[in-house]
Amino acid sequence: MITSQGLIQLGFKSGDFVLQDDGNGTYIRDWNSSSPRPIVADIEAAHNQWEIHRESEVVAKKERLASVKSKLEALGLTTEEVKEAFGI
């Protein structure tokens, strides 16, 4: 499947391409880059890399939050106290 995330992962900018889906799947309607148009398999592989990276960022964020909460608890603070203190 052709996705903008896959193309961006390959180093292209959103202005380099225009995607369209007429009901039969997404395709590259316009190619504005001076670089050669990548093949679908390369776009799909890049999209998969993007998904893996995005998922690892979500996991890392959850781990940081858990770490912060445990440190607050070790200091004797609650999440509510910190929110109130910092206005968040």
pLDDT: is 77 or 30 the higher one? 30
Number of domains, the chain: 1
pLDDT tens profile 34-58: 999 999 999 999 999 999 999 999 9
Supply the pLDDT for residue 62.
Answer: 95
Q: What is the pTM of this model?
A: 0.73
In the chain, the amino acid numbered 67 is S
Beta bridge partners of residue 55, listed in sequence order: none
Measured distance CA(31)–CA(34) in Å, rounded = 9
Taking residues 3-13, report their average pLDDT.
Answer: 97
- For residue 26, give the DSSP letter: E
Range of the domain at 13: 4-86
Measured distance CA(16)–CA(35) in Å, rounded = 9
Domain CATH for 41: 3.30.56.60
Average pLDDT, the chain: 94
Supply the pLDDT for residue 82.
Answer: 82
